[in-house]
Amino acid sequence: DSPSEKYEYQAEVSRLMDIIVNSLYSNKEVFLRELISNASDALDKLRFLGVTEPELLKDAVDLDIRIQTDKDNGIITITDSGIGMTRQELVDCLGTIAQSGTAKFLKALKDSKDAGADSNLIGQFGVGFYSTFLVSERVEVSTKSPKSDKQYVWVGEANASTYTIREETDPAKQLPRGTRLTLYLKRDDKGFAHPEKVEKLVKNYSQFVSFPIYTWQEKGYTKEVEVDEDPAEAKKEGEDDTAEKKKKTKKVVEKYWDWELTNETQPIWLRSPKEVSKEEYNEFYRKTFNEYLDPLASSHFTTEGEVEFRSVLFVPPVSPTGKDDIVNPKTKNIRLYVKRVFISDDFDGELFPRYLSFIKGVVDSNDLPLNVSREILQESRIVRIMRKRLVRKAFEMIQGIALSENRDDYETFWENFGKHLKLGCIEDRENHKRLAPLLRFFSSQSENEMISLDEYVENMKPDQKDIYYIASDSLTSAKNTPFLEKLLEKDLEVLFLVDPIDEVAIQNVKLYKEKNFIDISKEDLDLGDKDEDKEKEIKQEFGQTCDWIKKRLGDKIASVQISNRLSSSPCVLVSGKFGWSANMERLMKAQTV
Ligand code: ADP
Ligand code: MG
């Protein structure tokens, strides 16, 4: 070997390595994601330069990443056929902090007072090359740049302040181009050198890197081999000695090792929606989210212009928490990729509002930095635009289910996620126009099948101005309320709001197609049939009766009034115009208990 030259790390690098190793110990496995993303970057760079300098691609090596494991010795090698590094680049890139993501990482740590404490935050970062020292005792980076005719080896060790560089002279170790990392794992981390472990990590973190990732896997096939029958055996079975000696076959498993493609090189969201079948979307959904059932709907789209991203969204077939559970925004339902590299699925309302947190899917952005953190996400203008578009697409997708010929689908959706949408009516004023058409209620004319507000409006009488509702604790009590009498007589449809959240949701929506929602239990209900003369007459006749009732009931009621709203019941208790409805009162009572 040629002599090694010793180099000192830039002071900041040593500090950074300490911080990474100390703060990410519980999240060690990210090292593989980082190294694969570097390999993928190196391949991207080569491919990009190859456009203008085709001679760079002259060695007909495929653009790929290969990961080999030696579990007995605890060694992982990662080889890419990318751009490689010259000797100077080795010094600049691996010995100092350039303007790479690692520099930003360091700055963010500096900004957050309590460095190391919030490993959650750190887990979100692209921590770069040095994360390899989370698991490695020693790392060798052997690399050949097309700009240089020599190959160099960088060697670094955990907890060291120096590294070395030498020329690679061993002919057996020459690379046509690119970089090979050899990780000699720490004693406790040798488990990472198992082929299954590496496969699992690749599938989880780097499944959709756009270059093929091969892992070295043991395989087997069964073959039949002929065996001579044991004569003693044959005797035992009482066979005739003179019979022709029978040939027997037996199945044996032949083991061998070979490269196996471990990622999907063409992520489904990079393909054209026209080319992807429903079955492929369903399979992608089931695989990505470990689900057994197919989604109710999917939506695949690309946005261009101000912000560029691609996304595939799904409506799950069932609510994982059960339909009565309150919404938990901390699901792992949205997987964010930046340039095909998995970044995070740990969101808290950044990409979808809480009431839409049941939507699952992937989002792949070209505009966010690979080292995007929770903080960056929360402040980013790009993310705000993305969120708006995602929400709009989610609504279109749900609307699609509502419009589908199969009414059962929307019933299923409503049963599972109706509560979420009602919560949306309360929390997301901006989207009332999108939410309201998706609401469903029983009504006085449709007690068995829920109707939409559109269906209600279509069924309105020509001179009917408002949408009538009664809030109640059950369908039975809604059906039997005396408030209904007059409206039924006039054949006016009344919505039955029987879910506790319904009334608040409707009160927030306020209008639908310029029609007010009117609570038929309130005192000022006006059905447009007032006959003033007749009212005066009746008031005179029964005035004294009213006074008498008020005297008898005293403080229990606010007032006693003559009304024309009943047809068969003699009297009814109503709430004041500005008071709570009986249903609200029931709810408030239930909450204070
Ligand atoms: P970042 O990827 O954010 O730039 P890293 O710490 O991961 O930060 O990597 C530092 C630099 O080292 C990269 O920017 C790149 O120039 C160089 N590098 C790392 N791995 C490779 C590789 N496999 N091939 C070529 N260059 C690499
Ligand atoms: Mg990197």
Contact 220, 253 (CB under 8 A): yes
Q: Whose atoms come closest to the Cα of 341: which ligand?
A: 2
38 labelled as ligand-binding?
yes
User: Residue 447 — pLDDT band, cuts 50, 70, 90?
Assistant: very high
* Whether the CB of 179 sits within 6 Å of ligand 1: yes
Q: List, in order, residues 6 or more apart from 275 with CB less than 8 Å away.
A: none
Q: Whose atoms come closest to the Cα of 131: which ligand?
A: 1
- Both tokens of residue 330? 């901390």
Mean confidence (pLDDT) of the chain: 85
Instruction: Compute φ and ψ for 559, nearest 5 degrees.
Output: -160, 165
* Whether the CB of 34 sits within 6 Å of ligand 1: yes
Give the start-end residues of each E strand in 322-466. Answer: 334-338, 341-344, 360-365, 441-443, 446-451
What is residue 8's predicted lDDT score, i.e. its pLDDT?
A: 95
* Whether the CB of 85 sits within 6 Å of ligand 1: yes
Q: Whose atoms come closest to the Cα of 98: which ligand?
A: 1
40-49, 89-98, 462-471, 528-537: range with highest mean pLDDT? 462-471
Contact 21, 134 (CB under 8 A): yes
What is residue 23's predicted lDDT score, i.e. its pLDDT?
A: 77
The answer to whether residue 116 scores a pLDDT higher than 50 is no
Give the ipTM of the model, two decimals please: 0.99
What is residue 322's predicted lDDT score, i.e. its pLDDT?
A: 54
What is residue 119's predicted lDDT score, i.e. its pLDDT?
A: 45
DSSP-based three-state secondary structure for 241:
coil
* Whether the CB of 102 sits within 6 Å of ligand 1: yes
What is residue 491's predicted lDDT score, i.e. its pLDDT?
A: 93
Q: Whose atoms come closest to the Cα of 37: which ligand?
A: 2
Residue 370 C-alpha to ligand 2 middle, in angstroms? 8
Helix (H) or strand (E) holding 250, with range, is strand 247-261
The answer to whether residue 589 scores a pLDDT higher than 80 is no
Q: Is the dihedral of CA 379, 380, 383, 387 positive or negative?
A: positive
Residue 233 C-alpha to ligand 1 middle, in angstroms? 65
- Both tokens of residue 511? 């209008």
Contact 262, 199 (CB under 8 A): yes
Whole-angstrom Cα Rg for the chain? 35
* Whether the CB of 129 sits within 6 Å of ligand 1: yes
The span from the CA of 247 to the CA of 235, in Å, is 15
124 labelled as ligand-binding?
yes
Exposed (0-12), middle (13-18) or buried (19+): which is 45, by Cβ within 10 Å?
middle
85 labelled as ligand-binding?
yes
Q: Which amino acid is at 301?
A: F
The answer to whether residue 191 scores a pLDDT higher than 50 is yes
278-282, 283-287, 537-541: range with highest mean pLDDT? 278-282
- Nearest C-alpha to atom 8 of ligand 1 is from which residue? 128
The span from the CA of 481 to the CA of 83, in Å, is 77
What is residue 300's predicted lDDT score, i.e. its pLDDT?
A: 97
pTM of this prediction?
0.62
Q: Whose atoms come closest to the Cα of 179: which ligand?
A: 1
- Nearest C-alpha to atom 11 of ligand 1 is from which residue? 93
The answer to whether residue 126 scores a pLDDT higher than 60 is no
What is residue 98's predicted lDDT score, i.e. its pLDDT?
A: 62
400 labelled as ligand-binding?
no
Residue 58 C-alpha to ligand 2 middle, in angstroms? 26
The span from the CA of 555 to the CA of 238, in Å, is 106
* Whether the CB of 146 sits within 6 Å of ligand 1: no
Smallest Cα–Cα separation from 121: which of 29, 27, 231, 41? Answer: 27
Q: In what order do the strands lie in the sheet with 151-157?
A: 5-8, 162-167, 151-157, 136-144, 178-185, 75-80, 65-70, 213-228, 247-261
What is residue 313's predicted lDDT score, i.e. its pLDDT?
A: 98
Percent of the chain with pLDDT over 70: 86
The set of long-range contacts for 375-380, using a CB threshold of 8 Å and a minimum separation of 24, is 375/108, 375/121, 377/347, 377/350, 378/350
The span from the CA of 49 to the CA of 147, in Å, is 12
User: Residue 207 — pLDDT band, cuts 50, 70, 90?
Assistant: confident
Instruction: Compute φ and ψ for 423, nearest 5 degrees.
Output: -60, -40
CA distances to 31, 103, 424, 466 from 35, rounded to whole Å, are 6, 17, 42, 63
What is residue 111's predicted lDDT score, i.e. its pLDDT?
A: 62
Q: List, in order, residues 6 or more apart from 341 with CB less than 8 Å away.
A: 33, 37, 40, 126, 206, 209, 370
Mean of the pLDDT values across residues 540-550? Answer: 84
Smallest Cα–Cα separation from 467: which of 399, 514, 401? Answer: 514
pLDDT digits (tens, 9 = 90+) for 296-324: 999 999 998 889 999 999 999 988 665 44
Neighbours of 552 (CB within 10 A): 10
34 labelled as ligand-binding?
yes
- Both tokens of residue 405? 């010929």
In the chain, helix, strand, coil percent, each to 5?
40, 20, 35
Q: Looking at per-residue confidence, does 558 or 148 come out higher?
A: 148
Residue 70 C-alpha to ligand 1 middle, in angstroms? 24
Mutate which of 34, 64, 87, 93 to test ligand 1's pocket (most atoms within 8 Å of Cβ)? 93
User: Residue 368 — pLDDT band, cuts 50, 70, 90?
Assistant: confident
What is residue 343's predicted lDDT score, i.e. its pLDDT?
A: 78
Mean of the pLDDT values across residues 560-566? Answer: 74
* Whether the CB of 101 sits within 6 Å of ligand 1: yes
Helix (H) or strand (E) holding 15, with range, is helix 11-23
pLDDT digits (tens, 9 = 90+) for 222-257: 998 988 766 665 555 555 555 555 678 889 999 999
* Whether the CB of 31 sits within 6 Å of ligand 1: no
* Whether the CB of 519 sits within 6 Å of ligand 1: no
Q: Which atom of ligand 1 is nearest to the CA of 89?
A: 16
Mean of the pLDDT values across residues 432-459? Answer: 96
Q: List, in order, residues 6 or more apart from 76 with CB less than 8 Å away.
A: 67, 68, 69, 70, 182, 183, 185, 192, 193, 198
* Whether the CB of 79 sits within 6 Å of ligand 1: no
What is the separation of C-alpha 133 from the centre of its chain, rounded to a whole number of angstroms?
30
The span from the CA of 350 to the CA of 186, in Å, is 38
The span from the CA of 521 to the CA of 430, in Å, is 29
What is residue 421's predicted lDDT score, i.e. its pLDDT?
A: 95
The answer to whether residue 104 scores a pLDDT higher than 80 is no
Q: Which atom of ligand 1 is nearest to the CA of 126?
A: 3
11-25, 49-63, 473-487: range with highest mean pLDDT? 473-487
* Whether the CB of 364 sits within 6 Å of ligand 1: no
